[in-house]
Each structure stands twice: as structure tokens, then as C-alpha cells.
Amino acid sequence: MSRAADGRRVVVTGAGGFIGHHLVRRLKAQGAWVRGVDVKRPQFEASPADDFQLLDLREFENCRAAVAEVDEVYQLAADMGGIGYITKVHASLTRNNALINAHMLEASRLAAVQRYLYTSSACVYPSHLQEDEAVAPLREEDAIPADPEKGYGWEKLFSEQLTAYFHEAYGLDTRIVRFHNIYGPLGSYEGGREKAPAAICRKVAEVEDGGTIEVWGDGNQTRSFCYVDDCVEGILRIADSGYSEPLNLGTDELVTVDQLATTASGVAGKKIRLHHELDQPQGVRGRNSDNSLLQKITGWQPTTPLREGMHQTYQWVWHQLAAEDRAKPPAPAPQILMARAAHA
């Protein structure tokens, strides 16, 4: 159970994005004073942040403003998106994120913040460990020797190293979190930056029962997916852990992309045929999270089953589309996430 946040002043960068917005809500519920920072406001609902600033964190002075008079920094800001986006813009994405992360670290050092949490990605792991659908779960130490994904993966691994150097050289109290495919309500579901669960939910919602949806790749590539409530819980537990080395944050419930689509059609109450588009990017062949170290350090790991999380995600996406007269029946039945002692 995460400690109460009463009295803390924190900044969440990337607060206009999916995970950042959920994190702001959770921190506010704990009693923290929260500043949200992003180049955009949250798309689907207003931020509950006490202070929301529109700042381009590629500029150093904006980073100084972001961290002014706060105790803790949650650095989630990044130029990122789904596989269709990050495989097309290597140069600009890498430049943007390198600037954001270098400037945020230096600004936080100068402001003498008490804690700095950096959110990295499973894209840092070597490609040669992810060439088979039956992939071995990736351990934190597997990231070195390095062979990460082009662009986004290399920048994330570099920024992990830079974060570690600031800890070693300046005593900045740092945390490094490696996300594994986070999904859930309030995330992008169209426009090019959406991740696979939201994209598939959109496709299923828009098609008639008995219809066909497009799946990128042959559908046998594998992933594990972590529900956003578990992600936020994990962020806070890692923040409180005192552990400065990288930690995976994901589930080990490995499924194929076809199984992900079948799960979405199942919660939708539709029978769907799949058309595989082999010319579209599909990323590594297999990726799964080893949570052994997370369990050892925090005494906790994500608990939301994929079907339960996909029900919540599909229900939210369907109603967004229904408001634009784009969703096809049946309407998803309401479902409440099971109460979890870990979130108490």
C-alpha cells in the first residue's frame, strides 16, 4: 500500500497524456498538491491538478518552471505513440525525448528536488531476445549488452543511463520504471498514436457483429499488457521503494495479438473475423515482463486479468464512439473492476 501523499508537492510531466492523467488523479486522491505539465491538456476530461501548465519541455527554462517549488518529480513526458508512429519518426522523436529528459534532470538537480522518477519502456530490451513468440520473460539485467529498438528504445536506454549518472554524481534520489504495454480508459484509440488494445477495441466497436477487422502482422506475435490502474499503483510503490535501479512494470500474462482481438470481441459480445495485414509494422516477435524483481522490491505486482481490463477499456471506447454515432451494437454491459486489497 502506497504511503499517503498529504503535504507533498509534486509535478507530473506528461499530465496531458494517458498515464500521466491517471497518475494525477491518484495523487490528488492521496492528498498531494499536484502540478500537471504538458504541451496539451487531457483530451477526454479536465485535469484535477491544482496547477496545470502548458509547457514545451524541450526548452530548459520551461523545465525550470515545471519543477519550481516541488518535492517530487514524476517524469512521464515523452514524444511517443503506437508502433505505427514510433517506427516512422526516429530522428525527431529521439531528439525531442533526449532534450526533455536531459533538461528535466538538470532542472530537478538545480531545484534540489527530493525524488525524481523516470518512466522508461520495455523497448530498451535487446531485439535478439524477442525474436520468438514463446519469448522468455525479460529481466531487468537483460537490457545490457544493449541492442534496443531503433529510435525510441535507444533514447529510453540512454535516458535511463543519464538518470543513473545524475544519481551517482549528484545524489539525486532517482527511480526508473520500465513500462510494458499499458492500456485502459482515457487513452488514444485513433489518430496514429494509439496502442494495440485501444486500436483493437475501436475496430471491434465500429464493426457489425459477424464483420471483419484488420490486425497488423500475422497475429501470432506476442505481448503482455498492463492495466492502467495497476500501472499507477506500481509507479507509486516503486517511488516509495528506495530502489534506484530499473524495474519492470507489467504483467506476465502473455497473449498473441489474435488472442487480444478475440478477448476484445468476447467482451463486446460479437463474433469477429480477422484479416491480417502483413505489410504493417508489428514490432518485435515476442515480449513479456519478468516481475520477479518488482515483487521482491515492492512485495507487489499487477493483478488485473487481461479480460477484465479489456472489458473496461472496450466499454469506454465504445461509448466514446457511440457519442459520434460510430459504434455498432450491442452496447457493452457495465462491469465494475473487482475490489483489490493492493489498491486500498
Q: Which residues are catalytic?
A: 152
CA nearest to 298, candidates 343, 234, 225 = 234
Can you tell me the distance from the alpha carbon of 143 to that of 133, in angstroms, rounded to the nearest whole number? 19
Rounded Cα gap, residues 86 and 48, in angstroms: 29
**Phi/psi of residue 226, nearest 5 degrees:** -115, 125
Q: How far is residue 47's CA from residue 40's CA, in Å, rounded to a whole number? A: 11
Cα end-to-end span (Å), the chain: 7
* Gap between the Cα atoms of 12 and 32, Å rounded: 11
Query: ∠ at Cα 234 (233, 235), nearest 5°?
Result: 95
Residue 18 backbone dihedrals phi, psi, to 5 degrees: -60, -65
The phi, psi pair for 47, rounded to 5°, reads -75, 140
Alpha carbon 223 to chain centroid, angstroms? 14
Q: How far apart are CA 237 and CA 304, in angstroms?
A: 16
Buried b (16+ CB within 10 A) or exposed e, 126-153: beebbeeeebebbebeebeeebbbebbb
Helical residues (DSSP H) of the chain, grouped into ranges: 18-30, 60-67, 83-86, 90-111, 152-170, 196-206, 228-239, 257-268, 292-298, 306-322
